[in-house]
Amino acid sequence: MIWSKAHVVLAAIGTLSAVAGIAVAINGGLEFNRTKVFVGVGIIIVSTVLYVSMLFVDD
């Protein structure tokens, strides 16, 4: 039961951080700030890896 709740929490964190990364990347693109775009893309990649790794963890 605890592990299933942990999976839900990790999925929520992964999804919300991906949304935050998209927001940072879009904001950086609007400001023509290459560093913000790369940071946003990095956040998206890390959150995607977190989310996908959560799918393959045994209960």
CA atoms within 13 A on the CB side of 57: 14
The per-residue pLDDT for 12 is 84
The per-residue pLDDT for 58 is 66
Q: What is the pLDDT of residues 15-51, one digit of tens each?
A: 899 999 999 999 999 999 999 999 999 999 999 888 8
Break the chain into its structural domains and give their ranges: 1-56
Distance in angstroms (rounded) separating the CA atoms of residues 58 and 30 = 41
Distance in angstroms (rounded) separating the CA atoms of residues 53 and 45 = 12
Two structure tokens written together for 40 = 């946003």
* 38 neighbors 46 (Cβ within 8 angstroms): no
pTM over 0.85: no
Q: Average of pLDDT values for 52-59?
A: 73
3-state class (DSSP) for residue 56? coil
